A and B are shown apart, each in its own frame.
Chain A
Amino acid sequence: MNVRRLDGARQERGTRLGLRFVALGYLLVVLLGPLSMVFWRSFDQGAGHLWRSLSDPNTVHAFRMTLIITAIAVPLNTVFGIVCALAIVRRRFPGAGAVNAIVDLPLALSPVVVGLSLFLLYGRTGWFGGYFERHGIQILFATPSMVIATIFISLPFVAREVVPTLREIGDEQEQAAHTLGAGGWATFWRITLPSIRWAVIYGVVLTTARCLGEYGAVAVVSGHIEGRTETATLRVQDAYENFDVPGAYGISLVLAAMSVLVLVAMTLLKPKEEAA
C-alpha cells in the first residue's frame, strides 16, 4: 500500500515536471526566444547607431503621430467605455444585446477589414467622401482617418473591464445616495466612479497598448506616406523593407520597452483573485 502510494506520488511528480517542461518550453520557443532577439539585434551595431536611427526626422515624426493618435483615442474611448458600461448594466433598454455585441466586434474583426470599411465610407466614392471633399477636409490618407481607425480598434477595452465590476458592486449604494437626495452627477462622481476606478484604469492601460501597437487598420487608411502619415509601427515595416534593418530593430526596441511598461502596469493593477 505504502509502496503504491509512493509510486503514485512519484508518478504525479513526473507528470508535473513534464507539464512544466512543456509549458515553459512552449513559452521559450514562441515568446521569450524571439523577444530576446530584439534587444540583441538592436544593440548589434552599437548604441551610437541605434541613437542615429532613432533620431531620424521621419522616425521622430512617426512616434509623434503614434502619441497624438493615442492621446485622442484613449480619452474618447474611456468616456465612451464608462458611459456604455453604465448603459448596459444599469438600464435595461431595448437593444442592449445588440449594443453588447457591437462593442465586442472589434475584438473579433480583422484590423484590415476595419480599415477597408473606413476606406469605403470616407473614400472619394464613399458615402461621406464626397461631402468632405467638397468642404476641403482630408480624411483618408491623413490624421483623421488614422484616429478613427484606432478608436474603432481599441473601442471595447474600457467597457469590457467596467461591465463586470459594475455588475459585481450592484446598485445599492447608488440607490442609497439617491434616497439621501444626491443627483445623478453627484452619485456618479462620489459613488460609482470611485468604485469602478481600478477597472477603468486597467481598461485604459489595455486601450493604450492597443493604440500604440495598432498596425493593420492604420496601414490601410493612412496611405503610408513617409514623414506625414506614418506611425511608429508603420515605420518599422518601412525601415525593414528599405533595408534599414538596424533602424527597424531600434524602433521596435522603443515600442517593446513601451509594452513592457504597459505589462508592468497590467501586472500591478490586475485584480488579486486573477493573479495566480
Chain B
Amino acid sequence: MDRLPASAFALPRVKRRADPGAPLALGFTTAYLSLIVVLPIAALVWASHRTSFRSVVSQPEAIAALKLSLGTAAVVSLVNAVLGTITAWVLVRDDFAGKRLVNAVIDLPFALPTIVAGLTLLALYGPHSPVGIRLAFTRAAIVLALLFVTLPFVVRTVQPVLHELDREAEEAARSLGATEARVFRSIVLPNILPGILSGVALAFARAVGEIGALVLIAGNIPYKTEVASVFVFNHIQSGDQAGAAAVAVVMLAISFALLLSIGGVRFLATRHERA
C-alpha cells in the first residue's frame, strides 16, 4: 500500500500516505517521553499523594519558601516586562555602535551555567564587592540572580514581533497628532502584548524553579532566603522525601498552569490568523 505512487485518479488530498515509519516514529516518541518525563512525574505525584499532603504543605517553613519563590518571581516578572520590553525596543528601533554585540550578549544567560551566574554575581555584589554593594544572603540578591537568568525571555519574545511590526500605522497616528505615549499605548503595545505575556510567563516559571544561580548567593536561610527549590533540595538531602514531594507537587502544578497560560496567550494571539 505504502509503495504505491500517488495516482492521478486518487481523490484529492486523501489522508496522508501511511508510511512504514509512522508507527515506529510514534512508538519511539511515546516510549521516550514516557520513560524520561511521564514516569518520573507520575512517581512524584504518587509519592506526594501517599503522604498526608496538607499536613506537610501547611508547614510554616514550606509555606514561607513557596511564598518567597512566588513573590520574588512576581517582582522579577514585572521588572522583565518593563525593562525587557525597553531592551527589545532599543535593539530593534535604536542604532548605536556595538549593537550587534549587545544583541548577541542577551543570549548569554541561556548559554552560561547557572552556578557560574551565581558565582559571578557573588563576585560583584558579595562580601568582597569591589563596588561596595553587598547584597549576598539577602532577598535582593535572590531577585538579582533571578533577573540574570531570566533576562533573555521577554527580550527574545518581543524582539521579533517588534521587528515585523508595520511602522506605517505609527507614522499615520503621529501625523494625526497622537503623542508618542499614545502611539505606544494604542498601536505598539497591543501588538507586542502577547509576546510580553508569554515571555513573562516563561520568566516566571524559570524564576520559581531556579536553584543553580541561588545556592551560592542566597544563603538559604529558612524563613528568610530559602526559596522553594532550595527547600525541596534540602529536604531530599535530609531524607524527608515526603516533605520535599509535597512542595515539589505544588511547583509542578504552577509549571503546568504557566504552560497552559502560555498556550492560551498563543491561542488568543493567533485567532485572527486562524479565522
Tell whether, in the assembled complex, residue A263 and residue B108 are in contact, meaning their CB atoms are under 8 Å apart.
yes
Contact of B29 among A84, A233, A267 (CB under 8 A): A84
Contact between B33 and A38 (Cβ–Cβ < 8 Å)? no
Provide the bound-state CA to CA distance between A260 and B117, in Å: 13
Docked-complex contact A99 and B112, CB < 8 angstroms: no
A141 within 8 A of B: no
Contact between chains at A91 and B22 (CB < 8 Å): yes
- Specify which chain A residues have a CB less than 8 angstroms from the CB of B37 in the assembled complex: 102, 105-106, 152, 155
Interface flags, B143-183, vs A, CB<8A=1, else 0:
01001100100000001100100000000000000001000
> Binding site of B, secondary structure by majority: helix, strand, loop or mixed?
helix
B20 contacts chain A at the CB level, 8 A cutoff: yes
B87 touches A259 (CB 8 A): no
Pair A256/B32 contact, Cβ less than 8 Å: no
A-B contact count (CB 8 A): 288
B121 within 8 A of A: yes
Binding site for B on A (CB under 8 A): 11-12, 15-16, 19-20, 22-24, 26-27, 30-35, 37-38, 40-41, 80, 83-84, 86-87, 90-91, 93, 99, 101-121, 123, 126-127, 148, 151-152, 155, 171, 175, 178-181, 183-185, 188, 206, 209, 212-216, 219-220, 232-234, 236-237, 240, 248-249, 252, 255-256, 259-260, 262-264, 266-267, 273-276
Among B28, B43, B144, the most chain A Cβ lie within 10 Å of the Cβ of B43
Interface residues of B (CB under 8 A from A): 2-3, 5-6, 16-17, 19-22, 25-26, 28-30, 32-33, 36-41, 43-44, 46-47, 83, 86-87, 89-94, 96, 99, 102-117, 119-121, 123-125, 130-131, 144, 147-148, 151, 159-160, 163, 180, 202, 205-206, 208-212, 215-216, 228-230, 232-233, 236, 241, 244-245, 248, 251-252, 255-256, 258-259, 263
Residue of A whose beta carbon sits closest to that of B109: A31
Contacts of A80 in B (CB 8 A): 28-29, 32
Given A110-B228, A127-B39, 9 more A-B residue pairs with CB atoms under 8 Å apart are: A27-B151, A31-B108, A83-B25, A103-B33, A113-B252, A118-B40, A233-B115, A237-B115, A252-B119
Minimal beta-carbon separation of B35 from chain A (angstroms): 9
